[in-house]
Structure 1
Amino acid sequence: SYAASGGLHGVGASVVNALSERLDVEVDRGGKTWAMSFHRGEPGRFADDGEPGPSAAFTPFEDRSELRVVGKAARGVTGTRIRYWADRQIFTKDAAFQLDELETRARQTAFLVPGLRIVVRDERGDETVETVYQYEGGISEFAEFLAADAPITDTWRLQGVGTFTETVPVLQATGAMVATEVERECTVDIAVRWGTGYETITRSFVNIIATPKGGTHQQGFEQEVLKVLRTQVEQNARRLKVGNDKLDKDDALAGMTAVLTVSLPEPQFEGQTKEVLGTPAVRQIVAQVVRKELGARFASTKRDDKNQTSLLLDKVVAEMKARLSARAHKETQRRKNALESSSLPAKLVDCRSSDVAESELFIVEGDSALGTAKLARNSEYQALLPIRGKILNVQKASISDMLSNAECASIIQVIGAGSGRSFELPQARYGKVILMSDADVDGAHIRTLLLTLFFRYMRPLIEDGRVFAAVPPLHRVIIRHPGSKPNETVYTYSEKELQALLTKLQKSGRTWHEPIQRYKGLGEMDADQLATTTMDRSGRMLRRVRLEDAENAGRVFELLMGNEVAPRREFIVDSSARLERERIDA
């Protein structure tokens, strides 16, 4: 039982002791009853006269704490009793035990450990109230207890075991900690049922520890349920009349009640309160169990299983059709919303030309660069839209969060072609969209955030080759000419290019002005320099953002900008060896 168990915070007994005026512990073991007492955290003895209480005379231990024998225990009997009195110097006068929370925890634990008997007895009033919790059905009964709607399916149990290896520090006989690869076993037990309602209720646990914010085990479960149901819908597409539409996660999980439990040694949690499981390998193990067990339900030839799986497919397809109908209705009603109105943001510096093919929108980082860009632009066909620093990471955010973000909403509004599935490329107001950010790490981050917005909500612009990244120079070298001939200005775009230029000048015996100007941002350039290098069509350099492989691009954006931290951390660690120190703009 101790191979896969754990507490919640790791400080329970010590915190209770610290907050108690008196705490007594009795342990039955080895035919004896051992005892120890504490007064506000200090060990000692109470001189009880009758009923024990915190007001009894207390004598602290002078030398060291010790266990005392206070009675005999029957052979083979073990157990622990803890009794404590809350310290009224710490708690307010009206503080009281929350009986509802204690009963909820007792009920939950009794469900998770079949056959365990837990008694909650409230003796505070004139009459003692006692509640006993004991469930032989385990998490199957738990799922039935949580479900509030009529069932479509029975409560299905999905059970399995998987193994994985991980590298952990192991204490050697010499006293040294050595990184060692060990094999772990993960046991999966899931109770799941679908009902007629729409609410999704999921409770997940690791070693009987509740993980209310989910983790890798819940991700693996939900992703695989969606995959299995999608596969079944595709196989029954003609009967279900679904066409090319696909289920999404909300369709598959609507009306589902699930209790997910996994047991494994030394799980990795995110945070002290253990609300999120972080062990990466558990995701795949849970997914394999769900794939095998749920797949077997759909492949079963039993009459009950066939009826229930058929009803389940009907339900999830009905959810999908309702969602698509609601979205279509919403899109027909949203012809004049905030993003499609005729009024444009005040901060937009628009161009005069109405020729879409000729016009260009520069999205500029910061107001300082905007001031220079206003003077450097050709106002006939170049428009400017400043953004304030780093916009919202839309890969993680919901659509409502994206639309309520001022910077994202301004960009969509200025381009004027809508967003998401309602995006209409012919409605775009500009032929080119050029992202103009500083040539440093922050500028690259801002460019990535902007590309994430375009990739997720305005992808046709990228597919049509209309999104570009400006390439401002890094250095400005003024080459001296002898006599009255004017000096020559050369811009370089990388450290390597600068060194090659300087070597070439040295070999030819030519000199240059020191120090060489190193641009830290667009705001350091004057208007002529910015126009010549970055905005004037005759001499600028642009990088076209291409979308050669949409699926691969989707994976990259999810890795770099998505919700899952573990794969991104692995990518950073694995790629660190390829990083050149000289490339860091320190």
Structure 2
Amino acid sequence: MSYTAADITELDDVQHTRLRPAVNLGLDILNTALRELIDNAVEEVADPSHGGSSVTITLHTDGSVSVADDGRGLPVDTDAATGKNGIVKTLGTARAGGKFSAHTDASSTGAGLNGIGAAAAVFISARTDVTVHRAGKTYLQSFGGGYPGVFEGKDFDPNAPFTRSDTQKLRGTNNRKPNAQGTEVRILFDSTVVPDSSIDIGEVLLRAHAAARMSPGVHLAVVDEGWPGDEIPPALLAPFDGPWGTDTLLDLMCTAADTPAPVVRAVVEGRGEYTTGRGPTPFRWSLTAGPAEPATVAAFCNTVRTPGGGSHLTAAVKGLSEALADRASRIRDLGLAKGEEGPEPQDFAAVTALAVDTRAPDVSWDSQAKTAVSSRSLNVAMAPDVARSVTIWAANPANGDAVSLWTKLALEYARARRSAEGAKARSRAASKAKGLGTNLSLPPKLLPSRETGRGSGAELFLCEGDSALGTIKAARDATFQAAFPLKGKPPNVYGFALSKARAKDEFDSIERILGCGVRDNCDPEQCRYDRILFASDADPDGGNINSSLISMFLDFYRPLVEAGMVYVTLPPLFVVKNGDERIYCQDESERDAAVAQLKATSKKRVEVQRNKGLGEMDADDFWNTVLDPQRRTVIRVHPDDDEKNLHHTLFGGPPEGRRTWMADVASRVDTSALDLD
């Protein structure tokens, strides 16, 4: 067979996007493409210096959509370097935009920062017409099948004869209104590119209305000329002219979800710094929340709705619910029964309607579809700031009635939850008593992650005790990291029958959490996590725990081991610090070397922290050494194919075998090299 350079196919940006549209637009292709154009229009008029204030969305009878703004108008001159006019360079070129230079991008909180989305939308269209009003003239640039050029005739007909022209020079005609300015994009997507996708115009308009509410001074109009799709809710066709902010945003989202909007509300805001690739970066947030059942949460970042939530939503819910739970613990007349505890943060989260708007430069999205925000640094910085602001709001006597109402609703939920948990616990106990071992509900002490399932990147940490769980809870990224605490040393179940192993609480819990079956029925593809990591103290007891877990997994979960999914973490025994510099050490020799190094390079006082257990570790240290996939050091557990006899000897054979093995190992130790003083 021939295999030369001539056999390699090279596609341009338009061809590649039309062949693989999901690469640049995610799985919700048409919604994302149309939203990119609307985001650009809202962002253009949201800046007062651009001179505009209005965005108009027109739904045409042929299934095309027009998005118009009265901002500056796209550039219409010709770039001397490329020969492209400003419209083609902006909307017809991938990876082109005005936010890549350091002086603009570093502080931009716009929805589009990659220079891909709007161009990709044009690439997958059958026809796009861009009309620009600027400096008293009107300019038209068309795109056919993603390429710039000219259609014959005056109607918006995608089947009209088309002549491609990559370097077309624009000639303006006089405006009927000399002071008119702005850009209008009319687009009809090519059904042959995405034959199985359609526009959910209700979702698109909902996001447009939400973006307008978060952009002070922006006015939104929607014109329906006879949209051929599903009927559109009247609320989404209504014009929006204010008021702006998360308060009116929450009303919109509750209406869309058909859930009650809270009558009493907390309206708070704040700001802080988080870490990006550029270093310390400022962010700000605003939030409106109130007691409501069922709960409704709506998260937005840089005016983009993030239905998948992410770091900013996690931080908002955590800060709000923890502050309210703390305030509730100070209320004396809740009517608690003897020994009954008040509502917990999770109970407040379950009875809250919330809308949060976060503005974060250089934010990390989950994909071009921007359905979630992924930034642990933003989560860590934002959650305590939300908690502080809500604490101040709750302490204000004027808000006492609102706090009381919220607390009573949370207490009702807490009682129902605890009753349900008690029933589940009794059911589990009954199942175990019958020796069934088939109860697959998740253990109550499991700290879950938002993402689960094979291929999700989710991680499960089996940690040593509740104190270690507390450290993980404070340090982890809840998006993909889950944890479960072990009670002491896990049982040695090597060689046990399955029914006998399931009688052990720790084994039963691990089986239910993983959900992938055991031994011959163990299927890695059914596992809820991509990685299972053992997190035990950096001492001999921790080593024993790791050994017991390794034995359990080699016996009952060997396919997970063979798939490279099981790891042992290496938390430091010592942290040597000198001001801001920190060195993590596994043993005394590393500690002594680190102390000497810091003393030699600085006159600052050197401190040595010994971590007696994971529960005593600082959250940042724990993230840096155990949790952060980019910086941690872990040991992968490998199958023991060459050492099955040793596994049997150490965990399942008679005691004589272990004594013989220890004596053999001891005989090979050079005792003269040991420091026995």
Secondary structure of the residue aligned to 2:655 is coil
Match of 2:131 among 19, 26, 37: 26
Q: Are the aligned partners of 1:221 and 1:286 in contact in 2 as well (CA < 8 Å)? A: yes
Match of 1:142 in 2: 249
Match of 1:119 among 212, 217, 221: 221
Match of 1:162 in 2: 272
Q: Distance in 2 between matches of 1:400 and 1:108?
A: 43
Task: Give 1:67 shift.
Answer: 2.3
Structure with larger Rg: 1
Q: Which amino acid is 2:303 matched to?
A: I
Secondary structure of the residue aligned to 1:538 is helix
Q: Distance in 1 between matches of 2:361 and 2:385?
A: 19
Cα shift readout 1:349-374 (whole Å, capped 9, x = no counterpart): xxxxxxxxxxx97434xxxxx6xxxx
Task: Give 1:73 shift.
Answer: 7.3
Cα 1:193–1:114 change in 2 (3 A) is farther
Q: Tell me the number of residue pairs that the alignment of Structure 1 and Structure 2 aligns.
A: 395
Match of 2:303 in 1: 208
Match of 1:17 in 2: 122
Q: Distance in 2 between matches of 1:142 and 1:64?
A: 43
* Identical counterparts, % of pairs: 20
Q: Are the aligned partners of 1:225 and 1:290 in contact in 2 as well (CA < 8 Å)? A: yes
Match of 1:230 among 325, 341, 349: 325
Q: Which amino acid is 1:251 matched to?
A: D
After superposition, residues 240-389 of structure 1 pair within 5 angstroms as: 240-241=335-336, 243=339, 245=341, 247-302=343-398, 305-337=399-431, 339-342=432-435, 362-364=492-494, 383=496
Asked if residue 535 in structure 1 is aligned to residue 653 in structure 2, the reply is yes
Q: Which amino acid is 1:288 matched to?
A: P
Q: TM-score, normalised by structure 2?
A: 0.50
Cα 1:30–1:203 change in 2 (3 A) is same
Contiguous gaps of at least 5 residues in structure 1: 169-180, 346-359, 365-369, 371-382, 389-393, 412-431, 451-519, 543-586
Contiguous gaps of at least 5 residues in structure 2: 1-46, 48-103, 439-489, 523-546, 570-637, 661-677
Match of 1:219 in 2: 314
Q: Distance in 2 between matches of 1:526 and 1:326?
A: 45
Q: Are the aligned partners of 1:20 and 1:39 in contact in 2 as well (CA < 8 Å)? A: yes
Match of 2:171 in 1: 68
Cα shift readout 1:68-112 (whole Å, capped 9, x = no counterpart): 3233375664310112344455465x9875432333233222322
Match of 1:104 among 206, 210, 219: 206
Match of 1:577 in 2: none
Q: Are the aligned partners of 1:106 and 1:133 in contact in 2 as well (CA < 8 Å)? A: no
Q: TM-score, normalised by structure 1?
A: 0.56
Q: Are the aligned partners of 1:216 and 1:278 in contact in 2 as well (CA < 8 Å)? A: yes
Cα shift readout 1:320-350 (whole Å, capped 9, x = no counterpart): 122222322343455532x4323679xxxxx
Q: Are the aligned partners of 1:153 and 1:309 in contact in 2 as well (CA < 8 Å)? A: no
Q: Are the aligned partners of 2:321 and 2:346 in contact in 1 as well (CA < 8 Å)? A: no
Match of 1:46 among 151, 171, 176: 151
Task: Give 1:404 shift.
Answer: 5.2
Q: Are the aligned partners of 2:219 and 2:241 in contact in 1 as well (CA < 8 Å)? A: yes
Cα shift readout 1:382-432 (whole Å, capped 9, x = no counterpart): x465999xxxxx99x999963855339x99xxxxxxxxxxxxxxxxxxxx9
Q: Are the aligned partners of 1:362 and 1:384 in contact in 2 as well (CA < 8 Å)? A: no
Match of 1:84 in 2: 187
Q: Are the aligned partners of 2:130 and 2:183 in contact in 1 as well (CA < 8 Å)? A: yes
Match of 2:518 among 407, 413, 430: 407
Match of 1:566 in 2: none
Q: Distance in 1 between matches of 2:251 and 2:361?
A: 29
Task: Give 1:280 shift.
Answer: 3.0
Q: Which amino acid is 1:202 matched to?
A: V
Match of 2:162 in 1: 58
Cα 1:273–1:9 change in 2 (3 A) is farther
Match of 1:491 in 2: none
Q: Are the aligned partners of 2:251 and 2:261 in contact in 1 as well (CA < 8 Å)? A: no
Q: Distance in 1 between matches of 2:639 and 2:204?
A: 59
Cα 1:398–1:42 change in 2 (3 A) is farther
Q: Are the aligned partners of 2:554 and 2:639 in contact in 1 as well (CA < 8 Å)? A: yes
Cα shift readout 1:244-276 (whole Å, capped 9, x = no counterpart): 636444311122111111112111223333222
Task: Give 1:445 shift.
Answer: 7.9
Cα shift readout 1:220-263 (whole Å, capped 9, x = no counterpart): 21222232123123222564426463644431112211111111
After superposition, residues 391-540 of structure 1 pair within 5 angstroms as: 402=513, 405-407=516-518, 436=551, 442=561, 522-525=640-643, 530-531=648-649, 535-540=653-658
Task: Give 1:35 shift.
Answer: 2.0
Superposed CA RMSD in Å reads 4.7
Q: Distance in 2 between matches of 1:7 and 1:398?
A: 44
Task: Give 1:5 shift.
Answer: 0.3
Cα 1:445–1:228 change in 2 (3 A) is farther
Secondary structure of the residue aligned to 1:34 is strand
Q: Which amino acid is 1:133 matched to?
A: F
Secondary structure of the residue aligned to 2:415 is helix
Q: Distance in 2 between matches of 1:279 and 1:318?
A: 34
Cα 1:237–1:535 change in 2 (3 A) is farther
Which structure shows the higher strand fraction? 1
Q: Distance in 2 between matches of 1:271 and 1:438?
A: 37
Secondary structure of the residue aligned to 1:336 is helix
Q: Distance in 2 between matches of 1:237 and 1:77?
A: 63
Match of 1:489 in 2: none
Q: Are the aligned partners of 1:152 and 1:311 in contact in 2 as well (CA < 8 Å)? A: no
Q: Which amino acid is 1:160 matched to?
A: G
Secondary structure of the residue aligned to 1:104 is helix
Secondary structure of the residue aligned to 2:174 is strand
Q: Distance in 2 between matches of 1:293 and 1:204?
A: 18
Q: Are the aligned partners of 1:158 and 1:289 in contact in 2 as well (CA < 8 Å)? A: no
Q: Distance in 2 between matches of 1:14 and 1:166?
A: 26
